[in-house]
Amino acid sequence: MAGTDDELARLRTLYEHAPCGYLSLRPDGTITRVNRTFLDWTGHRAEDLLGGTRFQELLPIGDRIYYETHFTPLLTMQGEVREIAVDLRCADGERLPVLVNSTLHPEEPGGPAAVLVSVFQATDRREYERELLHARGRARESEARVRQLAETLQRSFIPPALPPVPCLEVGDAYRPAGAGDEVGGDFYDVFEVSPGRWGLVLGDVCGKGVEAAVVTSLARHTVRAVAAEADSPAGVLRRLNSSLLRPGAERFCTAVYAGIERGPGGGPLLTVSLGGHPAPLLGTAAGEVRSIGRTGDLLGVFEDVALADEAVELRSGDVVLFFTDGVSEARRGRELFGEERLADLLSEVRALDADGITARIADRVLDFQDGVPRDDIALVTLKVP
């Protein structure tokens, strides 16, 4: 008998001072038994809780509604509910985050059902969850700021609207790589050099990010600044090359510059120079497509660069497409979009206006990459109406 008494005493001690709170409830939530651990955690007195208090009355209003509308029905249907996170109202008014496990259990065979509840402190876990939510929120805000900064910087390299050029339709399109949260190196511009003379530049700075953005801004503004003074499009690119060789730039770029003026035959005269850049494509009204310009050296690498000019006078219905390598080198697996496919596409859509041609080509290149460009896409289209 003494051994049995000792065993019962040990079991009682284990129940009273277990590392979790224990309660027994009637099905309506009335507390019929509570251990010392729960009382120590919450500061409540046993006589107060056992005097008709229901477990749900220890919960804040939001958790109480959840207990009555979700917790209790689930317990009735499933016989148990595990790891429900709620707050307990302590005797001093403070809240204690806990995890609650409950099971339906008959106290004796054939006797009335009881609800057995175990309560585990979750203060550290809830703090971790709150900090995790805050960290996620901060990450989302940071990501949004980075994307906004990238968009703001990129807008400074891409004109919001290209100006009208006499006797020409002008269309443009830009699609950033990936999610658009990193500043790309593509840029373009169309501007009046002097009365009756216009300039068009399109380029691609090596790399991405802030360092590339500095060089991109330098390239675009340099071209505008020197266009009126240079004696030819090749001269413009030579001046750009010199600017890129200055200390601090430390990046190279490709670029195409086209001077636009009235030709001897009355049509727009394009004089094109290529600095390591893909040659623009000329699509004629007859359906022929060919490249314009002679290959020139990359800019920002060597002091002495080989650059040349090539002139062509456009006729009614002619289209000229300027593009970056994000178009011709767009990938789908190992397959490239390629200039041959681009030339075929230009021939196919040449009857559209300049905006329509540009949009159709940009969409087709995006579709080729399943809607996610691996590199920035920049296009400028000129068309003689």
pLDDT, tens digit, 9 for 90 and up, residues 200-214: 999 998 876 666 777
Residue 258 pLDDT: 97
Q: What is the pLDDT of residue 128?
A: 64
The pLDDT, as a whole number, for residue 134 is 74
- Give the residue among 366, 370, 368, 347 at the shortest CA–CA distance from 357: 347
Q: What is the pLDDT of residue 122?
A: 84
Quick one: tokens of 236?
Answer: 């413009």
Alpha-helical runs (H) found in the chain? 2-16, 36-42, 46-49, 61-66, 72-78, 123-157, 209-226, 233-244, 325-328, 339-349, 354-368
180's tokens: 């658009």
CA distance 381 to 280: 9
Cα separation, 304 vs 264, whole angstroms: 33
Half-sphere exposure of 92 (CA within 13 A, CB side): 7
Copy the structure tokens of residue 286: 């007859």
User: If we measure between CA atoms, which residue out of 220, 205, 238 comes closest to residue 158?
Assistant: 220
Residue that the structure tokens 């190279």 belong to: 252
What is the pLDDT at residue 126? 65
The predicted-structure confidence for 99-129, as pLDDT tens digits, reads as follows 999 998 866 566 677 899 999 998 777 666 6
List the one residue out of 312, 185, 157 whose CA is nearest residue 254: 185
DSSP assigned state of 42: H
- 102: phi then psi, degrees, rounded to nearest 5: -140, 145
The pTM score is 0.62
Could you tell me if 32 and 25 are in contact, meaning their C-beta atoms sit under 8 angstroms apart? yes
Task: Give every CB contact of residue 297 below 8 A, 6+ residues apart in sequence.
Answer: 275, 276, 305, 306, 307
d(CA 229, CA 184): 29
Per-residue confidence (pLDDT) for residue 112, from 0 to 100: 72
Kind of pairing between the strands at 281-283 and 335-336: unpaired
> Taking a C-beta distance cutoff of 8 angstroms, is the pair 15, 35 a contact?
yes
What pLDDT was estimated at residue 147?
A: 60
Strands, sheet with 80-89, edge to edge from the N-terminal-most edge strand: 31-34, 21-25, 113-121, 95-106, 80-89
Sites in the chain below the pLDDT cut of 70: 1-3, 106-111, 126-130, 132, 139, 141-158, 178-184, 208-211, 247-250
Q: Residue 258: is it exposed, middle or buried by C-beta count within 10 angstroms (0-12/13-18/19+)?
A: buried
**How many other C-beta atoms can be found within 10 angstroms of the C-beta atom of residue 353?**
14
66-99 in b/e form (b: 16+ CB < 10 A) is bbeeebbeebeeeeebeebebbbbeeeeeebbbb
Nearest-angstrom CA–CA distance, 373 and 174: 11
Spell out the long-range contacts of 90-93 with Cβ–Cβ below 8 A and sequence spacing 24 or more: 90/41, 90/42, 90/43, 90/44, 91/42, 91/43, 91/44, 91/45, 92/43
